[in-house]
Amino acid sequence: MQLISRIDALRQELWRHRLNGASIAFIPTMGNLHEGHLQLIDRAHEYADVVVSSIFVNPLQFGPGEDFNGYPRTFEADQSKLAERGCHVLFAPSVDEMYPDTQVSSTIVKVPHLSSIHCGASRPGHFTGVATVVTKLFGIVQPDYAVFGLKDFQQFLVIKQLTEDLCLPVEIIGAPIARAESGLALSSRNGYLSAEQLDTAAALYRCLADVRTQIDNGNSHYSELEEAAQIRLEEAGFKRDYFNICRQQDLQPATTEDTDLVILAAAYMGQARLIDNLHFHRL
């Protein structure tokens, strides 16, 4: 695996592959890689000849008081995991390389509506930071495919929307959520949890699964289901953020007419803010 930290060097390397007729799949990450990320690499291999990943902890998507400084950085271990999984090129730029001069991008990419609800309401500016860095990375890598985990369902829709709106020639692929045996969605932020908290945190997935079962059994009192789920999560030891039953296409509150649903949830366990979702076709 080649490790490249400069934009011009990456471009040169990828042009070489393109001239040979190779297709390119891209997996952007912020590092601290777990099995979920590595499954994205496996997925990318199914689509393209050359698999490129990036590790960049993007300051633009962290709000004041969030965990940018404390975000786990495990570069050496990440590098070995990517190489073992057959990643061909790892792009690991510095903040200066991505945001020269001011360390912030002066052009921002904002996807309205989708960016201000759910996680966007709890983390103002977060999705603009994500949309901006992903657009820059797409401009740098120019991939044919880009693979994102569906745990960040809202992020996935934001990226799909910007790709469509800006006519970017990249196909966005969503990969299933990787879970621990307990059902807990794998996340870099699980590293903030103690062994006991890790056990408790699995209640988030159980709660999502139970609400789905109730919906499939015909319960369409969505507000009541949402409130009951929040109370159950609090009883399990979470601090509430949101638990919303939405329609998949635009993440607006689901009505009884909607059949393609997603239940989006975020909750705090200690210092960790965990997110998860279940997307499904209502029976």
Query: Which residues form the catalytic set?
Result: 37
C-alpha of 44 from chain center: 16
Nearest Cα to Cα of residue 31 among 8, 58, 57: 57
What x-and-dash track marks residues 107-146 binding ligand PAF by CB under 6 A?
Answer: -----------------------x--xx------------
User: What residues contact 202, with CB distance under 8 A and at least 6 apart?
Assistant: 180, 182, 183, 184
Question: Of 33 and 267, which CB lies nearer to ligand PAF in the complex structure?
Answer: 33
> What sign results for the dihedral spanned by CA atoms 24, 28, 31, 32?
negative
Residue closer to ligand PAF, measured from CB, 226 or 241: 241
According to DSSP, the β-strands at 239-247 and 260-269 are antiparallel
Kindly state the helix (H) or strand (E) to which residue 36 belongs, with its residue range. helix 35-47
Distance CA 47, CA 52 (A): 12
- Residue 16 Cβ, how far from ligand PAF at the closest point, in Å? 25
Contact pick of 58, 128, 132, 187 for ligand PAF (by CB under 6 A): 58
Counting residues that bind ligand PAF (by CB under 6 A) gives: 10
Residue recorded with tokens 């705090």: 268
Residue whose tokens read 């209502």: 282
The reply to whether 78 sits near ligand PAF by the rule CB under 6 A is no
Min separation Cβ 18 and ligand PAF, Å: 23
Tell me if 203 contacts ligand PAF by CB under 6 A.
Answer: no
Phi, psi of 254 (to 5 degrees): -70, 145
Query: CB 245 → ligand PAF: shortest distance, Å?
Result: 23
55 or 263: whose CB is closer to ligand PAF? 55
Residue 40 or 246: the one with the smaller Cβ distance to ligand PAF is 40
Min dist. Cβ of residue 212 to ligand PAF (A): 24
Q: Write out the residues near ligand PAF by the rule CB under 6 A.
A: 28-30, 58, 61, 130, 133-134, 152, 155
